[in-house]
Structure 1
């Protein structure tokens, strides 16, 4: 996956960047998840998006706890999205408001990605910066309500297969997944510029 092979993420996972880079990344995630979860209560009754709105997936409170640990209680002061993050969050918010199939595409891309690859990030963060195992600083990656991630992902994919959409709409949703990956990659590239390692 392009996002996972970006310079920023490989440098972060390789221990070549400091905890400040990890904190900055966590801040950017907060903006995206705020957009994903802002309308969750309303979307829960929607026939397309509703089946995907699961309380055990919600990440915003965990992100806020991590940011308080990483940045201190005043973490909201000076909190600023990168332009790439603003673009990403705006697209998520637009889909949540106007196109439920597109929202599901972003939901799938983010939550299942963090449930899978995010566990690698959590392990490296615990090892590199000494966070307590599954403690503050990495709570975003700890899905406490999901006992069997593999079974959960299978169930989630079954919900995707059952989405009430014709073939054209499903193609549009696949295209939106690709757009979500591209938007995510844009955030990694922007973070890479901000934390460029000297040659």
Structure 2
């Protein structure tokens, strides 16, 4: 009993720990899952195709459009206002530049959206409307992760795809409003740690941070099933699993009974477009792995 008391005294309680550190600790397991995948290693080797990268960027456009729509709605709320940094962090405008580069002037009609991307988008809108205080979890895991790992991924894609050094097609990875990433991340964490929330809200924020990473991991697991020998031997169906949609809200409801803080599983599976699958898996899992511990 005495030993347990000493341990409790030397380790900060979950409630007294800074929110940023608590999120890092809560998401440690999903980071390990992402880090130990062969797809992350493949991406680091530069095994990425041009067509696959286009699809990845399209997914990011849909995700950030949804996230920033919801952020704009609650930007003046005490639950989010301290971490509202649109000039420094928002990615939608940069991704619009990238969409024009990859898909041409009529990109809004051409960009695809995978079922798992739709699932992510749906979760963001669901949280934004029902529990907006949880958006801080999504903002933190996405923005600071991309700010941390963006330059690494940018260099890999630039080299693998033979893209110009001036950065065309990779605006997403550039943060011109952040001259010093380390200093800015310190500011962001301090602002986030200053947010006032009840113990119950704090618990749900931590759960939502895990859900944010699980949305990426679940995409990996969904597509991994297509890589079995049985799937590879099947003929592709006539209707592809990717669909085109406007950047507005996904209308499909969440599965009934989905637990709070857990990412809903996609309700339909994409067709086995294996070249795209390999690239998308590699990129998204690499993003999770490279980002998390740089937060």
User: What is the match of residue 173 of structure 1?
Assistant: 205
Structure 1 residue 83 and structure 2 residue 124: aligned? Answer: no
> Take 1:20 and 1:4, find their aligned partners in 2: how far apart are those partners?
25
Q: Is the 8 A contact 1:9 1:188 kept in 2?
A: no
User: What is the match of residue 124 of structure 1?
Assistant: 156
SS of residue in 2 equivalent to 1:117: helix
RMSD: 2.0
SS of residue in 2 equivalent to 1:133: coil
> Take 1:104 and 1:149, find their aligned partners in 2: how far apart are those partners?
19
User: What is the match of residue 50 of structure 1?
Assistant: 81
Larger helix proportion of the pair:
1
Q: Is the 8 A contact 1:66 1:137 kept in 2?
A: yes
User: What is the match of residue 242 of structure 2?
Assistant: none
Output the TM-score relative to the length of structure 2: 0.62
2:127 aligned residue (81, 84, 95): 95
Q: Is the 8 A contact 2:46 2:159 kept in 1?
A: no
User: What is the match of residue 62 of structure 1?
Assistant: 94
1:21 aligned residue (52, 70, 83): 52
Q: CA deviation at 1:118?
A: 2.0
Q: CA deviation at 1:186?
A: 2.6
Larger radius of gyration: 2
1:109 aligned residue (118, 137, 141): 141
Distance 1:57 1:157, change over 3 A: same
Structure 1 residue 162 and structure 2 residue 194: aligned? Answer: yes
User: What is the match of residue 135 of structure 1?
Assistant: 167
Q: CA deviation at 1:7?
A: 4.8
Q: Is the 8 A contact 2:47 2:160 kept in 1?
A: no
SS of residue in 1 equivalent to 2:183: helix
Q: CA deviation at 1:191?
A: 6.0
Output the TM-score relative to the length of structure 1: 0.89
SS of residue in 1 equivalent to 2:176: coil
Point out where structure 1 has 5 or more consecutive residues left out of the alignment. none
Structure 1 residue 147 and structure 2 residue 140: aligned? Answer: no
SS of residue in 2 equivalent to 1:38: helix
1:39 aligned residue (70, 75, 92): 70
Distance 1:189 1:166, change over 3 A: same
